[in-house]
Chain A
Amino acid sequence: MEQRKRPLSPHLQVYRLPLTAVVSITHRMTGVLLSAGLMLFVISLAVIQGGASSFQAMQSLLQQPLMGIALWLMVYALFFHLCHGVRHLFWDAGEGYEKPLMNYYILLELFVSLALTFISFLFVQLGS
């Protein structure tokens, strides 16, 4: 018996997600990533209270280029999560639902989060 061709709802694996959906899931993924980052923060406090030699060992590890890249990617994840989080606060207040402006807000978020990361990078690298 031939099967009837029924209309299918957009399945997530074949449906090309709109930019808004990509940003939404990225917000969640960065949130989970940053939770792991909080654990690293606690570990860094543990290392500092371990004394000068353990602190210096951690510092030289953090000064490795790969660790630097990982660290600044985490900072970018933080600022992206922060910027999109601020947009959620606007949404909660009932603002910012204009459909034509959705992609514009996303570009604004990406720009501001990159800018904040860059400013922090300059502050940390040039300030000392």
Chain B
Amino acid sequence: MEYQTPLAKARGLGSAKTGTKHWWMQRVTAVALVPLSFWLILFIDQLLHASYAEIREWLISPLNFTLLLAWAFTGFYHSALGLQVVIEDYVNPDGLKIVMVWVIKLTFTAMAIASLVFTIRIAVLAG
């Protein structure tokens, strides 16, 4: 089944892009985030009430380390996909739109790397 009109194909517009993967990954990350968000609540609990030694111990336990970072990385991905849609909906000029989507993607990649570096540093630092 061909959905593109010949004109759209000539202009390189329409459904020839990779929208399906974007849409699908938005849903996959959404489903994953439903249970994983529980770890954010646990983390907030630690932020508000734990001593430094306690939050450090909490963070570096394998279960919390894995699931908090799983929540964060899934959240970054979901967030980048969502902000991309917002930009594509409201920003009209093509050049600006493309640059803003790049900025979003690079920012969330940097945030993921930073989170990993920070948690490793928390684990490695002497209490």
Contacts and interface: CB of A to CB of B under 8 A. Distances in A.
Interface of A: 28, 31-32, 34-35, 38-39, 41-42, 44-46, 48-49, 51-52, 55-56, 58-59, 62-63, 71, 75, 78, 82, 85-86, 88-89, 92, 120, 123-124, 127-128
Interface size grouping (class) on chain B = 20 to 34
Contacts of A124: 41, 44-45, 48-49
Interface in B74-100: 75-76, 79, 82-83, 86
Interface string B104-123: 00000001001100110110
Contacts of A56: 52
Interface in B6-57: 27, 30-31, 33-34, 37, 40-41, 43-45, 47-50, 52, 55-56
- From A63, A88, A123, A124, name the one whose CB has the most chain B CB atoms within 10 angstroms: A124
B40 A62 contact: no
Given A39-B111, A48-B55, A123-B41, A82 B34 contact: yes
